Amino acid sequence: MIKAFLFDLDGVLVDTAVFHYKAWKRLANQLGFDIDEEFNETLKGISRMDSLDAILKHGGVSLSQEEKEKYAKIKNDWYLELVNQMTVNDILPGVETFLKESRSIGIKIALGSASKNASLILEKTGILVLFDAIIDGNHVSRSKPDPEVFLKGAEALGVENDACVVFEDAYAGVQAAKAANMLAVGIGSEEVLHNADLITKGLNEMSPSEIITKIL
Ligand code: G1P
Ligand code: MG
């Protein structure tokens, strides 16, 4: 029986995955190289510092710890410039209805995100109140595909792992869900998310009850 839904943030509830890409690309360009969308896929679900390490490796650039912290902050400042322009209109289509319908059929809801900016974004888009628990980059030490973020989410909700469904747009996020012994709905393309139990283009495509029926 399904008792809880755990949602990734960037690319599932809000379109901030694009903002991360823009800000990381700008940083790479400043450091003298470029990143493309295909490489960006590998950063999804990965913490800020782990993302920076992956980008530097990709560009063949090595920096001291102090410089890395400086550049991570620069990237986050650029990212926040984009986030600060967000309003309630920036939640992805169908998200608010999906969350409300889930609650109305007794499903508990948690956030499971690698981002340290999660609460700010949920607040700006007006959906923070719909969550029973928030687990984000401030509560975990290991990036997806490690299951830590989802295990902590299930624990905070008081729900067994195998009664949880995770919603993810990242391959590493689906891997994390599987490692936590949870079911996974991939939000995006079959090509990227072939490890998910069910794939949909967005939360506006299926109702919570339909998801539960199809995934079991
Ligand atoms: C971090 C990373 C970003 C990654 C995101 C996943 O977010 O910077 O590359 O895609 O987690 O949600 P941040 O803590 O910087 O908001
Ligand atoms: Mg994501």
User: By C-alpha distance, which of 22, 206, 41, 7 is closest to 125?
Assistant: 7
Q: Domain check: are 8 and 52 in the same one?
A: no
- Which residues lie with the beta carbon below 6 Å from any ligand 1 atom? 9-10, 20, 43-48, 51, 76, 113-117, 137
Question: Domain of 149?
Answer: 4-15+90-215
**pLDDT given for residue 71 in this prediction:** 98
Q: Domain check: are 101 and 115 in the same one?
A: yes
Q: What is the dihedral of CA 86, 91, 93, 94, to 10 degrees?
A: -150
- State the total domains in the chain: 2
> What is the radius of gyration, based on Cα positions, of the chain?
17
User: By C-alpha distance, which of 207, 14, 205 is closest to 92?
Assistant: 14
**pLDDT given for residue 162 in this prediction:** 98
For 92-124, write each residue's pLDDT tens digit: 999 999 999 999 999 999 999 999 999 999 999
* CA–centroid distance for 185 within its chain: 13
For 158-179, write each residue's pLDDT tens digit: 999 999 999 999 999 999 999 9
**Regions in the chain scoring below 70 on pLDDT:** none
**pLDDT given for residue 114 in this prediction:** 95
Residue with CA nearest ligand 1 atom 2: 48
Determine the Cα–Cα distance for residues 123 and 121; give it in Å rounded to an integer.
Answer: 5
**pLDDT given for residue 58 in this prediction:** 98
Q: Domain check: are 117 and 189 in the same one?
A: yes
**pLDDT given for residue 105 in this prediction:** 98
Q: Domain check: are 69 and 98 in the same one?
A: no
What protein residues have CB closer than 5 angstroms to ion ligand 2? 8, 10-11, 44, 169-170
**pLDDT given for residue 28 in this prediction:** 98
pTM above 0.85, yes or no: yes
Q: Domain check: are 120 and 144 in the same one?
A: yes
- Among candidate residues 49, 65, 83, the one where a domain is terminated: 83
